[in-house]
Structure 1
Amino acid sequence: MLYTTKMPVHPAIRFTTQQARSVAGVSPEAWRHWRKNLSYFEAKKGKAAKFSMGEVVALCAVKDIVGHFGIRVTMLSASIDQIFQASAPMSLLLLQDCSFVLTPASGRVLKVDQITDLPCSAIVIRCEHFVDQILKATFQNSDEVHQKNLPFPPTAIMRGSS
């Protein structure tokens, strides 16, 4: 089930490196290794580095293929760089119906219904789960009351004549 929010997600929302790593579940050690081996991250150094929603989806996907399949980022570095470039300007709404298609030579973002005629060796990663993961991590309401009750009851104030 896809988590939906009634609040529109502004395309200009940016994550710091720490926030992006936290949402994707990337350890500091893995992050340092990826920064050294993925040219896309060369421009994303220091405290000024910011990540778009689309880049965080790509980060989640990379974490998934490394964690679940044991594929080293160095083996697919060109393909991974291409999915980061392609997904960076994309909104979560658009990525929700997309997949990342990685081959040893290329990385593409395709609508799910456009995935046809794949080469014999390709990794296809649905983005829907990662979009849900980002929305839950970013906009999830807790069960706690966010606003405490006022210590005094609200009272109507009569407007005086001026």
Structure 2
Amino acid sequence: MSLTTIQFTQEQARDIAEVSPGDVRAWRKAVPYLAAKPGKAARFTFADLVGLAITSELTNRFGARISDIGASVDKLFHELADARPAHLEGIVALIGSASAYLLPIGDFSARQISEPTLIVPCDPIVSQISARMMPSTPSAAQRELPFPPQILKAGR
């Protein structure tokens, strides 16, 4: 892990990825990667946030049971851990019953899929997480100064 990697607390990770504490507790029982991050001292990377959001999509939107896809979600977290945040754009996550892959969207058609697979594009998730991390606020126009700026010289 790089020293420049931003790490998030468990509460920050849940808030940014929009997952409930109950979901994370349940996922820890089925996903060894998450089980290795217990308690309040747990720290999560940006890639982990993407993994949490994808897991939420799989379990909440698609209705997949974590007990059925835990092994593949574990592989997904390991795949994500090896990726830099900038490399997650233009990527799709392919999650099978016991496998997970990250592929550039352009390479997706070249991949032979040998089992039923859920496909989750990472772009919308990365954009949503980035927006939650650094929400853009409308900048107020700066008022005009009542006097012209002047250059000050350092003391002689």
- Please indicate, yes or no, whether the TM-score normalized by the shorter chain is above 0.5: yes
**What percentage of residue pairs aligned between the two structures are identical?**
28
Aligned to 1:110, the other structure's residue is in SS state strand
The aligned residue for residue 26 of structure 1 is 19
State whether residues 54 and 120 of structure 2, in contact with CA within 8 Å, keep that contact through their aligned partners in structure 1: yes
Conservation of the 8 A alpha-carbon contact between 1:80 and 1:107: yes
Q: CA deviation at 1:97?
A: 1.2
Which residue matches 1:78? 71
Please show how residues 53-64 of structure 1 align to structure 2 within 5 Å: 53-64=46-57
CA drift of 1:99 comes to: 1.1
RMSD: 2.5
Q: 1:136 aligns with which of 124, 131, 139?
A: 131
Cα distance in 2, alignment partners of residues 100 and 143 from structure 1:
33
**What secondary structure is seen at the aligned counterpart in 2 of 1:76?**
helix
Spell out the pairing of 1:1-162 with structure 2 (5 A cutoff): 12-115=5-108, 116-143=111-138, 156=150, 158-159=152-153, 162=156
- For 1:117 and 1:161, the matched residues in 2 are separated by 71
Q: Partner amino acid for 1:36?
A: K
Q: How many residues align?
A: 150
- Shifted more, 152-161 versus 43-52: the winner is 152-161
More helix by share: 2
TM-score normalised by L of structure 2: 0.83
154 and 112 in structure 1: CA distance in 2 versus 1, 3 angstrom threshold: same
Kindly report structure 1 stretches of 4+ aligned residues shifted beyond 6 Å. 152-155
Offset at 1:156? 4.2
Question: What 5-or-longer segments of structure 2 have no aligned partner?
Answer: none
Q: Aligned partner of 1:58: which letter?
A: G
- The CA distance in 2 between the partners of 1:87 and 1:100, in whole Å, is 9
Other structure's SS at 2:74 match: helix
Post-superposition offset of 1:73: 0.9
Conserved in 2, the CA contact under 8 Å of 1:11 and 1:91? Answer: no
